[in-house]
């Protein structure tokens, strides 16, 4: 196993720079591109050099990938929002169906009461006492 100058096993990493996109290199295990800590500074390109054409294509593809990833995240958020809206609309439809059913029951009850000759005041009292709790839910 190959080791760097400070004795750690060499790791193979992939470059993410615009000058060498996707190009692999060997470095000290302690190398961290984010913090710029390089360990013993061991570095050697693993791949051969890239042509300008390869570099341009790879950079273009990486940029396109970032754009598509961002678009995908936006679409996921939009889908989540639409699902929430769908749930709310279903609840509203259920409520309207319930109210329609109550209205039909009330109409039927009023017709029956009229046919039996009950007074309007008596019908209202019965409707409120029976259907009131249903309407409040």
Distance CA 3, CA 31 (A): 13
Q: Which tens digit of pLDDT belongs to each residue from 58-100?
A: 999 999 999 999 999 999 999 999 999 999 999 999 999 998 9
pTM of this structure: 0.53
Beta bridge partners of 37: 32
Q: Which tens digit of pLDDT belongs to each residue from 7-27?
A: 889 989 888 888 999 899 998
Within 10 angstroms of residue 62's Cβ, the number of other Cβ atoms is 14
Please report the pLDDT score of residue 75 as a whole number.
98
């Amino acid at each position: 196993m190959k080791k760097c100058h400070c004795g750690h096993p060499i790791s193979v990493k992939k470059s993410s720079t615009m000058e060498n996109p996707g190009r692999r290199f060997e470095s000290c295990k302690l190398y961290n591109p984010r913090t710029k800590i390089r360990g013993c500074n061991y570095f050697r390109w693993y791949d051969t050099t890239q042509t300008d054409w390869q570099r341009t294509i790879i950079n273009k593809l990486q940029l396109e990938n970032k754009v598509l990833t961002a678009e995908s995240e936006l679409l996921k958020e939009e889908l989540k929002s639409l699902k929430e809206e769908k749930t709310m609309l279903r609840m509203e439809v259920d409520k309207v169906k319930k109210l329609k059913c109550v209205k039909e029951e009330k109409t039927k009850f009023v017709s029956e009461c009229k046919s039996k000759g009950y007074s309007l005041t008596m019908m209202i009292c019965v409707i409120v006492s029976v259907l009131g709790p249903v309407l409040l839910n």
